[in-house]
């Protein structure tokens, strides 16, 4: 409806112009109001918030699923590259006492360390944790694993029962666990005898784990050993109890046993300072040791140093992985581009038939395809037989095409070729054929029309396929393991070995982290040189 008094161009009612006029009037006299009387700005913000919450609710199940099954496991795996809790958790007393030991002096630790180590090893052997600790330290020093296993079997048979007999002979009450519980409860004795009190708490916790009652179990020899050690070191127990005071006066005449000799009898390698250096070096809960090993280096008391020349393998594996991944990507481009061009330019019926052949490898097991190449490329295989039959190769000089880099490149090119063809084909389908006809009508040759008109428009498909193939290639390990031999394996094969065979997950995580950083750096370089915005899938 119109308002004659306002002029023929003025229309009353909810028009955009009138809404703007209302907004101007509201801005001059106060905030605009929604239909329910609330300020319009507040109402719009509330509606927008509801939309966001509704969208978040729709994607929340998928987000939680990805977070639980993908992000958290990968994050935990990468965290293992610096995590090193096992030494500090298994040998807490030893780690603390070793912190004051001078590893460069090449002298063995003092008696305090041997006593702490005896108590820690006793509990570790009872909990079956000493083997895991030995395995961890064996990554850094060969032979430590067997050292811990052998000592764990003998630590509860050390001659420390000599202290047990002497304490009981001094006062039969020492044989009763109630005596220890009363003495080492919440009282001053725990402060005066921290080593003994800590061993008692661990003993109680161990009995709880085993489902036993501590007051019904025999007091172990380690308790008497810990008590003797602290009393002989001059712990002031006067005024605590008559029993403790009497023991404190009597320990000076006790017959003693050397824990250092006990460990040496179990295995003489405990007298090697290098073993204690390794325990000290890897006692922190965060360690650079895994990354040092992944970079062909090692942690020493003097810092991080390069490994001997004959022990450097990971740098060579990283270089080989990058080189062969680039070779595979390049061969996929060379072989896939003509196929993608044919698929995009042939009649639909013929193109569909060829597309079935391209997709056919996806319907065959990866192991079957890889094993087929192993049969074809071996010296007595199909390809060598054909070359010998044609007279191109002598029968006694057959080509070695398997268990090397060539075999890996051939097999992986065949496996990854469809991942290059499909992105290029999807982009080439969007290039109008009229562009080439127009270039030719302007005098361009077939090659000029292709190189200056068609090829630049297909580059986004090449970029997408290259990224896809390269990332897949750099992480492959099944095919290189089967056909690669000693010279055609990737760094991913070493990562898989440490995860499944050597169980050195920390080193595997460090290698994986380095590989991830390398891929991200290459991705960044690709973005700077080519531009990730130019990558298209159609």
What domains are there in the chain, each with its CATH number? Answer: 92-306 (no CATH), 314-534 (1.10.3720.10)
Q: Which residues pair with 286 in a beta bridge?
A: 83
Both tokens assigned to 219: 């007091």
DSSP-assigned letters across all residues of 501-512: TS--HHHHHHHH
Both tokens assigned to 290: 């895994």
Quote the pLDDT of residue 526. Answer: 80
Comparing CA positions, the residue from 514, 502, 522 lying closest to residue 317 is 514
Q: For residues 371 and 365, what is the distance between their CA atoms, to the nearest angstrom? A: 10
CA 65 to chain centre: 20
As a whole number of Å, the CA-based R_g of the chain is 38
Both tokens assigned to 77: 């795996």
Q: With the C-alpha atoms ordered 405, 410, 412, 417, is the resulting torsion angle positive or negative? A: positive
Whether 495 contacts 511, CB under 8 Å: yes
The model's pTM: 0.79
CA atoms within 13 A on the CB side of 108: 14
Quote the pLDDT of residue 473. Answer: 93
C-alpha dihedral, 136 to 138 to 144 to 150, nearest 10°: 60
| Residue pointed to by tokens 């007091």 | 219
Angle, CA of 426, 429 and 431, to the nearest 5°: 125
Quote the pLDDT of residue 113. Answer: 93
Comparing CA positions, the residue from 251, 220, 229, 228 lying closest to residue 157 is 220
Comparing CA positions, the residue from 487, 481, 364 lying closest to residue 414 is 364
Quote the pLDDT of residue 14. Answer: 55
What tens-digit pLDDT sequence spans the chain (538 residues)?
A: 444 444 444 555 555 555 555 555 555 555 666 666 677 777 778 888 888 888 888 888 988 998 898 888 888 888 999 999 999 999 999 999 998 888 777 688 989 999 999 999 999 999 999 999 999 999 888 899 999 999 999 999 999 999 999 999 999 999 999 989 888 877 788 888 999 999 999 999 988 888 878 888 889 999 999 999 999 988 888 878 888 889 989 988 999 999 999 999 999 999 999 999 999 999 999 999 999 999 999 888 778 888 888 888 999 999 999 999 999 999 999 999 999 999 998 888 888 888 888 888 888 888 888 888 988 888 888 888 888 998 888 888 888 888 899 999 999 999 999 999 999 998 998 888 888 889 988 888 989 998 999 999 998 889 889 988 999 999 888 899 999 888 888 999 999 999 888 889 999 999 999 998 988 888 888 887 767 666 655 5
Whether 436 contacts 449, CB under 8 Å: yes
Quote the pLDDT of residue 1. Answer: 44
| Residue pointed to by tokens 């009872």 | 126
Quote the pLDDT of residue 365. Answer: 86
Task: Tell me how far CA of residue 458 lies from CA of 297, 523, 531, in angstroms.
Answer: 45, 20, 14
Q: For residues 228 and 112, what is the distance between their CA atoms, to the nearest angstrom? A: 12
Quote the pLDDT of residue 8. Answer: 46
């Amino acid at each position: 409806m119109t308002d004659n008094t306002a002029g023929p161009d003025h229309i009353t009612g909810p028009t955009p112009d009138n809404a703007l006029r209302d907004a101007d009037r509201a801005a001059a006299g106060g905030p605009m109001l929604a239909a329910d009387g609330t300020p319009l700005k507040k109402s719009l913000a509330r509606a927008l918030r509801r939309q966001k919450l509704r969208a978040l609710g729709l994607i929340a199940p998928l987000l939680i699923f990805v977070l639980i099954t993908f992000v958290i496991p990968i994050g935990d795996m990468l965290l293992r590259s610096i995590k090193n809790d096992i030494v500090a958790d298994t040998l807490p007393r030893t780690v603390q006492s070793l912190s004051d030991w001078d590893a460069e002096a090449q002298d063995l630790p003092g008696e305090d360390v041997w006593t702490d180590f005896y108590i820690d090893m006793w509990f570790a052997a009872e909990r079956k944790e000493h083997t895991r600790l030995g395995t961890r330290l064996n990554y850094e020093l060969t032979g430590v694993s067997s050292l811990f296993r052998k000592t764990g079997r003998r630590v509860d048979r050390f001659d420390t029962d000599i202290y047990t007999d002497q304490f009981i002979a001094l006062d039969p009450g020492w044989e009763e666990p109630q005596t220890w519980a009363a003495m080492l409860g919440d009282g001053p004795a725990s402060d005066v005898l921290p080593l003994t009190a800590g061993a008692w708490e661990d003993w109680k916790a161990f009995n709880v784990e085993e489902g036993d009652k501590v007051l019904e179990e025999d007091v172990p020899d380690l308790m008497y050993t810990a008590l003797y050690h602290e009393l002989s070191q001059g712990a002031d127990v006067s005024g605590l109890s008559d029993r403790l005071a009497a023991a404190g006066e009597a320990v000076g005449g006790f017959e003693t046993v050397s824990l250092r000799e006990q460990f040496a009898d179990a295995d003489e390698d405990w007298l090697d300072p290098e073993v204690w250096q390794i325990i000290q070096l890897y006692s922190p809960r965060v360690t650079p040791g895994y990354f040092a090993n992944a970079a062909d280096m090692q942690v020493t008391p003097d810092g991080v140093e390069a490994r001997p020349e004959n022990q450097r393998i990971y740098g060579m594996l990283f270089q080989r992985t990058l080189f062969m991944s680039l070779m595979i990507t390049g061969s996929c481009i060379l072989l896939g581009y003509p196929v993608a061009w044919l698929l995009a330019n042939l009649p639909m019926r013929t193109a569909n038939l060829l597309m079935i052949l391209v997709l056919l490898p996806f319907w065959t097991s990866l192991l079957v395809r890889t094993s087929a190449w192993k049969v074809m490329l071996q010296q007595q295989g199909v390809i060598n037989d054909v070359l010998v039959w044609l007279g191109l190769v002598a029968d006694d000089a057959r080509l070695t095409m398997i268990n090397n880099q060539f075999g890996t490149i051939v097999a992986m090119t065949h496996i990854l070729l469809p991942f290059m063809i499909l992105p290029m084909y999807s982009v080439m389908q969007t290039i109008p054929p009229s562009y080439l006809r127009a270039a030719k009508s302007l005098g361009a040759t077939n090659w000029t029309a292709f190189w200056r008109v068609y090829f630049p428009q297909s580059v986004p498909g090449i970029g997408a396929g290259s990224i896809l193939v390269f990332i897949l290639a750099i992480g492959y390990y099944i095919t290189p393991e089967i056909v690669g031999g000693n010279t055609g394996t990737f760094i991913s094969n070493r990562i898989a070995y440490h995860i499944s065979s050597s169980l050195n997950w920390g080193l595997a995580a460090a290698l994986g982290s380095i590989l991830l950083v390398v891929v991200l750096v290459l991705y960044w370089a690709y973005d700077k040189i080519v531009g990730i915005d130019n990558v298209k899938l159609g």
